[in-house]
Homo-oligomer: A and B are copies of this chain.
Amino acid sequence: MVMKETVKKYSTVHYRNYLGLDKILNAQELRSAQLDDKPAHEEMLFIIVHQVYELWFKQIIHELESVLELFDTDNVDEKNIGTSIHRLERVIEIQKLLVAQIRVIETMTPLDFLDFRNHLFPASGFQSLQFRIVENILGLPEDSRLTYNGCPYFSVFSEPNQEKLKDITTKSTLFDAMEHWLERTPFLQIGDFNFLEQYKAAVAKMIEKEEKAIKSSPYLNMHEMEMRLQMLGNTDTYFQSVLDESKHMELIEKGEMRMSYKATIAALLINLYRDEPLLHLPFKLLTCFIEIDDALTTWRYRHSQMVQRMLGNKIGTGGSSGFTYLRETAIKHPIFKDLHNISTLLIPRSDLPELPAEIKKALGFYYSSQQSN
C-alpha cells in the first residue's frame, strides 16, 4: 500500500491509477500463448472468470470479517445489528452474481476447454485459498468436511496458508458468534414470563384442540381420520423430543444438530415473535444466515453441474472426480442447517400465547411507547 505521507490530499486522482488497472489488466497470461503456436481463444475467458471470482471472494471476506468483528463481544451494540444485516445482504447480492456467472463459463464448450486444459495440470479450483477462508469464517466445521481424493481440503496449500486456515476455525466463527449472541438473548425470561413454559403449554393445547376437531369432523372418512391423527401423533412426539434438553444434547453428540439448546430456544422465540419491533432486526439477521447458506449451497450445486457438463465422467485437472465431490458438498456442507430447522418448531400465530402488556412494551420502541403514553 502506498505510504501515507506520499499521498496528497486534494491531489488529482485518475481512474486508471486509482483502480490499479495496470495490475488488473496485465494479469492474464495465457499458457497456450506460451506453449502453443497460437493462443487458445477461450483461455482468456477461463482466466478472467476465475479472477472475477477471486475479486468477489475478497469482497465477501471483507464483509464477513467486519461482521465477525462487530459480533465478537459479549455486548453487541444494537446499532451493529442493522449494520451487519446491511453487509450480509450485500454478500447475498454478490452470491447471486457468483451463481449467475456460471452461465458465462458454460458458454465455453467442452471441446473449447480441451484446447488448453492440458496445460493447466494440476492447477484446480480446489486451490482457491479465499474460498476456503469464506467457508471457515462462516463456520464450516473441519471434521464435517469431505475429503477429496482421500486428502483433507487444506493439503493443497502451503504451510503458512494451512496455518491461516486452521487459525480461523479455532477462533470464533460467524456460527459461533451467532450462537453466543442468541444464548445471551434477555427475552427468554422477562419478569414472570417464561417463554419456554408458555410455548410448551401452547403446543399441548394446539395438539389437543386439533385432535378433538379431527375426531369430530363429519367430512373425514376412516382412512383420512387415521392418517391425520397419525400425523398429529408424530408432531406431538417430535415436539416432546426437541423441547427436551437432554435429547437435544444427544442429537448434538450424534452430530445431527450443532446449535446449543439455549440458542435454539432463543432462535425459536425470535421467529415466533418477529413482528414485535425489537425482534424485527434479529429475525432479519437469522434470515441472512439462512440465505447465505442457501446461496452457497446453490453455487456448489450449479458448479457441480458445470463441471459435469465440461468434463463428463473425466477426472478434473487436479486429478479428482470433481463433479461428484462438488455435488456431495452441496448436500453435506451446509453450515446453518439448525436455523432452517427452527421452522419445524413453529406453531400458528393463532395458537401463540398473547404476550403480557409489559413484555410487549419491552419489545416495542422506547420512543414510540413514550409517545403513546
Spell out A's residues near B (CB within 8 Å). 1-4, 7-16, 18-21, 23-29, 31, 33-35, 41, 44-45, 47-48, 50-52, 54-56, 58-59, 62, 66, 75, 78-79, 81-83, 86, 89-90, 93-94, 96-97, 100-101, 103-104, 107, 109-111, 114-115, 117-125, 127-130, 186-187, 213-214, 217-220, 224, 227-228, 231, 234-235, 238, 271-272, 274-278, 280-281, 287, 290, 294, 297-298, 301-302, 305, 308-315, 319, 327, 330-331, 340-350, 361-372
Contact = CB atoms under 8 A, between A and B. Distances in A.
A9 B114 CA distance: 16
A161 B55 CA distance: 27
The 8 closest A-B pairs by CB, nearest first: A20-B27, A312-B344, A366-B366, A312-B343, A15-B127, A110-B343, A11-B219, A10-B217
A277 to B, nearest CB: 5
A275 B27 contact: no
Given A127-B16, A227-B319, A362 B371 contact: no
A209 to B, nearest CB: 11
Contacts of A271: 110-111
A219 B8 contact: yes
Contacts of A9: 35, 119, 213, 217, 219
Contacts of A281: 277, 280-281
A304 to B, nearest CB: 10
B343 A115 contact: no
Nearest to A309: B340
Contact of A365 (B56, B278, B330): B278
A311 B345 CA distance: 9
A298 B309 contact: no
A226 B35 CA distance: 22
A51 B20 contact: yes
Contact of A23 (B26, B111, B272): B26
A16 B156 CA distance: 11
A302 B298 contact: yes
Given A58-B48, A82-B280, A123-B13, A23 B21 contact: no
B107 A90 contact: yes
A1 B28 CA distance: 8
Contacts of A276: 79
B28 A58 contact: yes
Contacts of A109: 274, 287
A223 to B, nearest CB: 11
A137 to B, nearest CB: 16
Given A129-B16, A214-B10, A217-B9, A311 B344 contact: yes
A93 B103 contact: yes
Nearest to A331: B327
Contact of A18 (B90, B115, B120, B330): B120
A131 to B, nearest CB: 10
Contacts of A50: 19
Nearest to A277: B78
Given A34-B2, A54-B25, A79-B276, A114 B347 contact: yes
